[in-house]
Structure 1
C-alpha cells in the first residue's frame, strides 16, 4: 500500500466533496472512510484512477450518512443525484482547502491540527502523539475546528500568508512520536507550491529546506544542542542546501520580497559558508534590515543584534540589544553571548544562568546551564592560578 499516494490525494478528494456542497466535517469523515476502504481493497489491485475511486467511495459514504441523518430534508439539494463514477475532475481544490484549514477564525493550534488531518492525511492518533497530548484531546480540538469552518463558504479567496504561517508552525515542531513534522511540513509546502505560483510559498519552501539540511548536526550524541558555529558542516545535507538556494534565487528574481524569502536568504548565507569564520555577517545584517522593514518584529531585531555583534563587534551588538525589551524570549541568552565575546565573563555567566531558567525546552536549558558552568569554572581556575601557593585555600 502506497501511504504517500493516499496522503497526497487526500486534500484533492476532500476538496471535491466540499465543492459539491458537502458539509466540511461530514466530508472529512467520508474521506477518512474512503481511505480506510482503500487500505483494505487496493493491495489486491490499485484502480486506474486512484483519485476518482476515492472521490466515488467518499461521496457514497457521505450520501449514506446524510440520508440517515434527521436533517435529510435540508440537504435534498445535495443528495438528489449522485454523480456517476468516472475520472476525477480536473479542477484542483487543494489551494482552497489550505485556505479553509488556516481560516482566521481558528486558533493557531486548531489550524495546525486541522491542516495535518485534512490536508496532510494524518490520523488523529498520529497528530496527538506528535504534539504530546492525549488522543481524545486532539480529537476534540479537530472536531471543534471542523465545526468552526463548516459554515465557511468555499469559493472565497484565502490568505496565503496565514497558510504559510500555519505550515511554518508545523515545521518548527520538528519531530515527535512516529511523525516527522518537519518533513511533513516540507511535503505540504511542496504540495502547495505545485498549486500556486507565489514567491513567498517558494521562500518558505527554501527556508525549510535550508534549516532541515542542518538537522543531523544540531545535536550531539548525548542529545545536547550544538550551536551553529560548532556544527560539523560535513554532516549538512548539501543536496537540500543546493535545492533551497536554487528555489530562493528563482523567487528573489521576481522582485516581490517577503519575510520568508528574506529569512531564507539569511539561512542561505549560513549554509553557503564553508566555515563559521567565513560567514558573510555584513550581508546577513543587511537581510535582517530588510526583515525589520517588512515585519518590525522584535524577535527579528533580537537576531539582528547577534548579527551586528558578529559583523561590527560585540559592543555594537550590545548597543543594538539595549534598544529592545529585556522580556523578549532569549534576550538574556543573546546578551550573555555578546558579553562573553566582549570579555565580561562574570556578567556573561550570570546571564547564561538567568537564560537557562527561562529556556523553553530541556535541551536549551541544559545547553545554557553548561555555558554558565563553563565560564564559572574558567573564572575559578583563573583565580586559583593567581593565588599565592603559600597561603591556605
Structure 2
C-alpha cells in the first residue's frame, strides 16, 4: 500500500504546532517546510537500527515502512547513508532543523553559507527565505553533492552546491556571508568560519555530541560569542580523524579492555539524574570535555559507564542505594564527573540555555550566564590528550 505522504506531512505539522516549534519570530519556517517537505529530499533507501546493525528500507519494495521511518517523529533524524557500518549522513530531525533555522535569523537578501549539504533540505529551506541565488552550500561527499543538486533543481530552488571540505574552505564565490548554518558537529569552530562571516553576522552550529549554538560575529570581526540554543545530535565532521573510541557501551568496553580498576570506592549518590536530567547532562558535557556517559537502570537503581578515548570509569548501583566506583586510565573520569555534578548543583543547577560559547583566533571557551564575568571552561579539540588527574 502506498502511504499518504500528505497525511504524514500534516501529522508532522500538527506535532510541531503542539510542541511550539512554529515560533512567532520565524513564521516563514512553517510555510517553507510545507512547500519543501523532507520526503522530496529523501533518498529511496533509508537505514534503521535493528539492535545489531543498520538495515536498509527500500522505498520501491516497502513504501509504507520507508514513509514511517522518514516521518517517525519530529525529534528523529532519518539515516540516509551508512559507511563502514556507521551512519555518515542523515536528514536531521524536523524539530531541530526548525530550531536551528529559527536561531539563524535569516532575512530576505541575506547571503547564507550552508555547511554540510547532505540531501539539500536545509539549503532549500534557507533559500526559500533568503531568495534565489542567495544560498551557497558545501558538501565533502561528491555523491551527496550531486544528489542534492538534483533534488534542489527538482524543487525549483536556485542554490549553489560545491563538493569541498567546508571545515577548511571559504564559501563558494569568495565573499563574506551574512549567515552560516552548519549541519555537522564540530567541537571547536574553525576560525575560517568567523572570517567568512560579516561583522554582526550569525553562525549556528552543532557543538560536538550535544547541543547547538548561535554565535554573533563581533564588530571588529576578530571573535564571536553567543548562547546555546537547544539540544541536538549530529553527524561528526568527516574532515577530522574519528575518535579512537566509539560512543555507548561498545566504546566503553573498547577503552577499558581487560584492564583491572586502578582505584575503587563507594559513592553515596542516586545516579538516576544522569539518565533523566538533560540540563545535568549538558552541564557535565561542558565541565568534563570529551567524556561520554552511558546509563542503565535496573533492580538496584541507575548505573553509569563513562569513557573518553583513553580513560574509563564505572558507577555500578548497589542494593543499599550506593554505587561502586572503579576507574582507570590517565584521567579519573568518575571523580571528575562527580565533582562537576557537585559544581553544577552549587551553581544553582543551570539549564542548557544558561550557557554560551566565545570563539577567538587563539582559544575557545564555554561560559555560564555572562560571557565576561561568569564561570568558564576551555574548549579543546576532540583528539587533544587529556591531562592526568
TM-score (norm 1): 0.27
Which structure dedicates a bigger proportion of its chain to strand? 2
**Bigger Rg over Cα:** 1
Which structure dedicates a bigger proportion of its chain to helix? 1
